[in-house]
Structures are given as structure tokens and as C-alpha cells.
Structure 1
Amino acid sequence: MPSIHLRTEIKAPIELVFDLARSIDLHEHSMEHTNEKAIAGRTSGLVQQGETVTWQAKHLGITQKLTSKIIAVQPHHYFADEMKSGAFKRFKHEHFFETSSNGCIMRDIFDYDSPLGILGSLVDAIFLKKYMTDLLKRRNQLLKEFAESDRWKNLPGMRENY
């Protein structure tokens, strides 16, 4: 069972970082290279507990759909989503936030299982874990850039909260 752990320091208030991490619109910006779009469930704004999002994207040359559900939200400190349907056997993505002397520390834990048993484990070892790590790092870097500038003000659902 692969697990990806990331830590990102962001010079912005924890409340802003928490909301940006829940932004459908920011997620789409960070995944423009895969043409990822929210196509069902919540399709814009900030995800809330109990909501689902169905994403469509082109990964590894194949157009795929994945539906995840927000299973927990503890404002400004934690939220988690789990895959309900998609290419993985399962995944759970946990997002943790803590205040730091310079702003906020955001941590991601992405636990997943690939389908296809031993073959899936081989795919993980060869390239999938690195591919997923790179996607998450790219997303976190864009989130950091938005939070540390005024770019976040152009995202739907953000300006009215701050």
C-alpha cells in the first residue's frame, strides 16, 4: 500500500490556505496540463463535507473519470477525501494544516492501492508513485503561489470569504 507524505510551508494565514486547498477552481488550474475538469457533483467553489466531485482528466494518455467524496472537514485544520469510483483500487487523501511562525504548514498524506494485484504493485514501483507525487507537488506549489500573492482573489468563492 503506497503512501505519499508531503509538507509545504506557506507564508499565508491558515484559514486562506485551508480554503485554497478545498478550491475546485484552484485544483483545475494546477492540473491544466492534464485538462482536468470537475464534471459532476461540486464543480466550482469550495468543497464541503459530504459532497462529491467527479473529475475527468487525461493521465498517461488515457481519459479517465474519478469520483471522490469529502468524508471529513475540521475547519482550518483538516479535511479528507476518498475515492468512490475510478482507476485506483482505493485512495484516501488527508490534508492537515497547522499555524507556523511564518504562516502555515500544509501536510498531505495520500494512501492508495492500485488495481491488478501484483501487476499494480509493479506499476507503483516503476512509475505511479513518482507520477502521483509529482502531481501533488505541482498542486501544492501552485496553491503556495496563489496564497502568497493576490492571485487567490480571482478564484470563485474566495474573495467574499476574505
Structure 2
Amino acid sequence: MTRFEVTTGIAALPRRVFDLSLEVEVHTASMAGSGERVIGGVTSGRMRLGDTVTWEAKHFGVRWRMTSRISACDPPGYFVDEQVAGPFARWHHAHHFEPDGDGGTVMRDVIDFAAPFGPFGRIAERTVLGWYMPRLIRLRNEHLRRAAEAAG
């Protein structure tokens, strides 16, 4: 299993960043490069505790589907999404939002994931997914930062 963290500073209040992080349309726009779209579950608006959504996207030239559930939620401090069906043996993504002391937010993503296929999956984690997944989260966070700061 692989764990990584990405920390992003955002010049917007934690509640604003928290709310935008749960918006289906914001997430979809942040992953436009992979053609991500919603194909099931909550298809628009803000997700809530217990909600599921099925995403479809193209990565490495292959179309993937992943269904995730909001498994924990304590606004505006954190929420967790976990894969319930999809390409990973495990996907657990904790989103943390803390005031930065200047009216902004320190957003911290903590992701634990495991590729399928045992030893072959561990090789994929070390050689490809270990750099690819943090890059995707940083791209998502940059989009989220711009959206939150533009909204005031």
C-alpha cells in the first residue's frame, strides 16, 4: 500500500473550500484532462455523507470506472471518500481543511491506496502510480484553489 499527502494553501475560508471540494461539477472540471465524467450516483451538486458517485475517466489510454462513497464527514474540518468499486485494491482519501490564521485554508489530502494484482500492483505503485497519483491530486487542488479564490 502507498500513502502520500498533498498540502495546498488557499486564500478562502475553510467552509468555502470544504463545500467546493464536495461539488461534483468542480471535481469533474478539475479532471477535464482525463475526460472524467459522472456516470452514476450523485450526478450534480454537493455530495453528502453516505452519497456514492461513479466516475469514468481515461488514464494511461484505458477507460476506468470508480465508485466512491463519502464515508465520513465533519464540516468544515474534513471528509473521507473511499472506493467501493473500481480499479484499486484500496482507495481511501481523507480531505482536511484548517484555518491558516490569515483568513485562508490549509487543505491537506491524505491518500492511502493499493493497486490490484499483488506483487505486480506493488511494482506499479513504485514505478508509475507513486508519481502519477500525487500529480493528479495537485492538478485537482490547483483547480479547486482557483475556483475558491475567484468566488471570494
* TM-score bin (small chain): over 0.9
C-alpha RMSD of the superposition? 1.0
Once residues 35 and 15 of structure 2 are traced to their aligned partners in structure 1, the CA distance between those partners, rounded to angstroms, is: 28
Q: Partner amino acid for 1:142?
A: H
User: How many residue pairs end up in the alignment?
Assistant: 151
Q: Hey, what does 2:85 align to over in structure 1?
A: 85
How far off is 1:68 after superposition? 0.4
Q: How does 1:130-145 map to 2 (within 5 A)?
A: 130-145=131-146
Which residue of the partner structure matches residue 45 of structure 2? 45
Give yes or no for the alignment of 1:71 onto 2:62. no
TM-score (norm 1): 0.91
Q: SS at 1:148's partner residue?
A: helix
Inter-partner Cα distance in structure 2 for 1:118 and 1:7: 30
Runs of 4+ in 1 over 4 A off after TM superposition: none
| Counterpart position of 2:110 | 109
Aligned to 2:147: 146
Does structure 1 residue 124 correspond to structure 2 residue 125? yes
TM-score (normalizing by structure 2): 0.96
Q: What is the CA-CA distance between 1:20 and the residue it aligns to? A: 0.9
CA shift, 1:64, in A, is 1.0
| Letter aligned with residue 120 of structure 1 | G
Q: Describe the SS at the equivalent of 1:149.
A: helix
What CA distance in whole angstroms lies between the structure 2 residues aligned with 1:147 and 1:63?
30
Long gaps (5+) in structure 1? 153-162
- How far apart in 2 are the matches of 1:22 and 1:133? 19
Residue ranges of structure 2 left out of the alignment (5+ in a row): none
